[in-house]
Structure formats: structure tokens, C-alpha cells
């Protein structure tokens, strides 16, 4: 379920920070997954027509207009993320795709749902939480998958 409040960031080795321009009318919540809208290149919190870019470092209120506000986003690192469906230890190493701005699921073999790829499961924590390694590599695969 998509969230509308800042979340505690649980990360092992949070990586590189990059600044992104925020889409008009969009609030970004700390610790949530963020996406770049393919039509504008601005980030927002919806997976629709988007590519995954990372995890928001800090939250911010809705931007008044495109390009008015920016937010720092972790584009690499290992983050504890809520997962839809049921994770199992055998899922470690599998590609993960975003469900919304708060959770991921194991990607189907052909990414038939065309949800943005967000990384790989590197550690099984519980059936509903896992550590996901996000990286520029997973972002490129997400972009290449629909190119």
C-alpha cells in the first residue's frame, strides 16, 4: 500500500546521493521509493509510466511547479523494504520490482506486469521484508526493459 508519510530509512551501506527535480503537485516522503516520470524527467511517487531511481533521503511537501523543488535520492545501497506477496529465503538473488512507493515484489520471469525494477533481494528478513540492493545497474535494466 502506498504511503503518505515519511518512513524510517533502514539501510546497510546507503550509497550515492543524487539530486532530482520534483514533479509539480508531488510530495515525496523520506524512506520511500521514488520514480522518474518518463515524459518529463521529474520525480514523483507513482510507478505509472515511470522508471525507478532510488530511495528518498528526506521528505518534502508538494512542489508548486515543475522544477521548483528538488530532493536528494539514494541511487545505490542496500535497504530494508516491505515486500508484497510472500518472500522466502530461496528468493535471495532474484530481481525485485516496485509495487508502489513503499513496497516491492519478486519480479515475474518476463516482467509481464512492466512494473519498474528496483533491484535484487540480497537478504531474506521475513516473509514481508527483505534487504534490496538498489543500484545504477538495476535502474539501467529497468530503463532497458521498456526501451
CA distances 75 to 15, 113, 135, Å, are 7, 23, 6
Query: Can you give the pLDDT at residue 65?
Result: 66
- Per-domain residue ranges of the chain: 16-74, 77-145
Q: Which residue has the cell 542496500?
A: 78
Residues 133, 68: contact at Cβ < 8 Å?
A: no
> Are the beta carbons of 58 and 21 closer than 8 angstroms?
no
Q: Judging by beta carbons within 10 Å of its beta carbon (0-12, 13-18, 19+), is residue 20 exposed, middle or buried?
A: buried
pLDDT at position 94 is: 93
Closest CA relative to residue 115, chosen from 71, 88, 83, 91:
83
Q: Which residues contact 140 (CB under 8 A, 6 or more apart)?
A: none
Q: Is the pTM of this model over 0.95?
A: no
pLDDT score for 112: 60
The whole-number mean pLDDT for each consecutive block of 10 residues of the chain, a chain of 147 residues, reads 76 85 88 89 84 90 73 92 91 92 84 78 95 70 43
pLDDT at 147: 38
All three cell numbers of 46: 507513482
Amino acid at each position: 500500500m502506498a504511503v503518505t508519510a515519511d518512513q524510517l530509512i533502514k539501510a546497510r551501506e546507503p550509497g550515492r546521493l543524487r539530486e532530482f527535480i520534483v514533479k509539480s503537485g508531488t510530495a515525496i516522503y523520506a524512506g520511500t521509493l521514488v520514480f522518474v516520470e518518463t515524459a518529463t524527467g521529474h520525480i514523483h511517487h507513482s510507478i505509472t509510466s515511470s522508471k525507478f531511481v532510488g530511495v528518498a533521503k528526506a521528505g518534502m511537501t508538494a512542489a508548486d511547479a515543475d522544477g521548483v523543488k528538488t530532493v536528494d535520492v539514494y541511487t545505490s545501497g542496500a535497504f530494508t523494504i516491505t515486500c508484497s506477496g510472500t518472500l522466502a529465503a530461496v528468493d535471495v538473488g532474484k530481481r525485485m520490482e516496485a509495487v508502489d512507493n513503499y513496497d516491492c515484489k519478486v519480479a515475474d520471469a518476463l516482467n509481464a506486469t512492466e512494473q519498474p525494477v528496483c533491484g535484487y533481494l540480497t537478504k531474506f528478513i521475513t516473509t514481508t521484508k527483505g534487504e534490496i540492493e538498489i543500484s545504477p545497474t538495476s535502474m539501467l535494466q529497468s530503463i532497458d526493459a521498456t526501451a
